[in-house]
Chain A
Amino acid sequence: MGIADYMLAALFYSAPIIIAALGESLVERAGRVNLGVEGMMALGASISVALSSLTGSIVLGILGGAVAGVALSLVYIAAVIMARLNQFVVGLLISFTGLGLADLVASMGHKIGPGIPQGSESHILLVSICIVTPPALYIMLSRTPTGIEIRAIGYDESTARERGLRVDMLRSIAIAFGGIMAGIAGSYISLALHGGKYFSGITAGMGWIAVGSVILGYWNPLGVAIAGYAIGIIMLLRPQLASMGIGDFIASSTPYIAIIIALALASIFGRRSLGSHSIIP
């Protein structure tokens, strides 16, 4: 396999992490951390398989995944934005709920319908999302009024409120966007990476890695995409590293260790440039 093929394979592999991380980066820019990404991804993965095998359409499956992500992020909005419960606790509860419901949907069986069309359209469609979104999100955040308002509410909530910004509204929109992206990322995992199959534990921690990639990419959409891609390369290299005599467990835990280190570094240097950011209390 040539280096170019390898880089392309890594892009396919890291696309779900990049897509979910881009959504989460907007949520965190708006001043909240949604730890429900893992569950939203799992539910998206499961529902998209059920819907595409029922209808025979990949696009409908992906849409179903996005709707699943939004549904869970509405719970987050109700509990965190409206009822002001602890964002971390609610995020974890949503992750567990999503993971369990995903297994339930899968167990209900979906043998009826034309089945999932095999092919590369789903790959191309989803990979293009993760190529187009980073610059689009970057321009949105840095150039458009909405983007600047979202950064403002994340940077200094009370000042933004005094200036008359609709903090809760903007934040909810960002959270819903995060849900859509996580759901799409989930449908990518099942429809494209696993050839239209869902099994328990399919997300394999990619949701948590996506949350970590946001820190690794320092909350900048372009950086987040690069961080997600780098993690994809590491994860794809696992078998090679294992055959070189480096323990599989070292390769498997590298993304998590990298995120712990990134969290430490961001905590040391972050407060100056990001204001009252919520992952760094």
Chain B
Amino acid sequence: MRVYSGILRSYGGVLLGLIVGFASSITLGSLSPAGLSGSLSSLLWVYTSPSPLIASILFMGPIALSAAGLSIAYRSGFITVGSEGQVIAGSAAALWLTAIMDLGLHPLQAFVLASVFSGSIGSLLGLLPAIMRIYLGASEILSSLMLNYVVLYIVNYLVSGPWRSGAFPVTKSVPEQYRLGYVDIILISLATSIALYIILSRSRLGLMVEVLGRSPRAAETYGLRPRLAIYYVSSISGFTAGVGGAVAVLSFQNSLTPMSIFPGYGYMGALVAWLSSNNPILTLPASWFFSTLLVYGGALQASGLSIGYVLAIQSIIVLSVILFRRITGGGVGYS
């Protein structure tokens, strides 16, 4: 019986997520100015034409990288949503390095340097909520959320002030030779997911994360140090989200303009981690599915919808899947 309920939970969850995803995309799309026929043809276009498929792989970069890092953080019970700000900061850092400084590097050197730089900035941003949680016991979710806004305002200031390149508030673009293609994005996301999976399943840190997520008291009894684990998971998730920002700017974003609302890649990363039960391998297909919805939303944007509408569809998917998992037996870690 338990085997069957396990199968029901995992496959049923996937099936339900897909059904709810397509159903809500079509229903909500047909309420928009695009109408039923417009939303159906956009949805078909996303999964059958080469250009939206390539676009979906490019968008997958920042989502999958944030999600992979967050899945390890959420397993330890550290529920941060700072990835949104970390992606933005990572984008700004990579843009500064490649477009504004323009050191004349070899493309591979530029990518490695930008990743390390953006990732480190993301890690630093991850440390503040971690320190507040460890020493003061303050909820990391609220502090990371507030920090996202601070980051957004700082980057907006840089983009519209010192980094502005002409009459309009736009920065310089990343030079052609540094740009990443969709094959690069697949390789980077795959490598990150596998690396985090190995950390989770084979390393001492992985064990620490697992025990900490299930019972913080047991972790201390066994001589594991919860504080150290929180430092690790916050800087790992910050690092991958920062790299996600670098990848975004090196692949599809290329230049930055002031943002009035959040781009949402980091938040989508959090949604993907929740959807895929914090499994770093499962975050890959889930991120790709979510970025196809993002491309679909982009197609509907022409008829006057904002990208926030996509985040709504994705949230409805996640909410129904975690409710389903709860009803069919227990929850995972963060429940």
Instruction: Please list the residues of chain A having a beta carbon within 8 angstroms of any beta carbon in chain B.
Output: 33, 35, 75, 79, 83-86, 88-90, 92-94, 96-104, 107-109, 200-201, 205, 208, 211-212, 215, 247-249, 252-253, 256-257, 259-260, 263-264, 266-268, 271, 279-281
Contacts and interface: CB of A to CB of B under 8 A. Distances in A.
B79 A88 contact: yes
Contact of B326 (A84, A97, A104, A268): A84
Interface string B29-48: 00111000000000000000
Per DSSP, chain A at the interface is helix
Contacts of A101: 28, 309, 312
A81 to B, nearest CB: 13
A107 B33 contact: yes
B139 interface: yes
B39 to A, nearest CB: 12
A259 B142 contact: yes
A263 B79 contact: no
B32 A108 contact: yes
B38 to A, nearest CB: 12
16 contacts: A89-B79, A92-B267, A93-B315, A96-B271, A96-B315, A100-B306, A101-B28, A104-B32, A205-B149, A247-B157, A249-B157, A257-B150, A263-B143, A264-B132, A267-B132, A281-B137
B155 to A, nearest CB: 9
Given A79-B319, A97-B316, A104-B31, A263 B147 contact: no
Interface string B246-262: 00000000000000110
Interface of B: 28, 31-33, 79, 81, 128, 132, 136-139, 141-143, 145-147, 149-150, 153-154, 156-157, 260-261, 267, 270-271, 274, 303-306, 308-316, 318-319, 322-323, 326-327, 331, 334-335
A163 to B, nearest CB: 27
A122 B308 CA distance: 28
A93 B156 contact: no
Nearest to A105: B31
A281 B129 CA distance: 14
A35 B139 CA distance: 12
A139 B37 CA distance: 55
B305 A86 contact: no
Contact of B138 (A84, A252, A267): A267
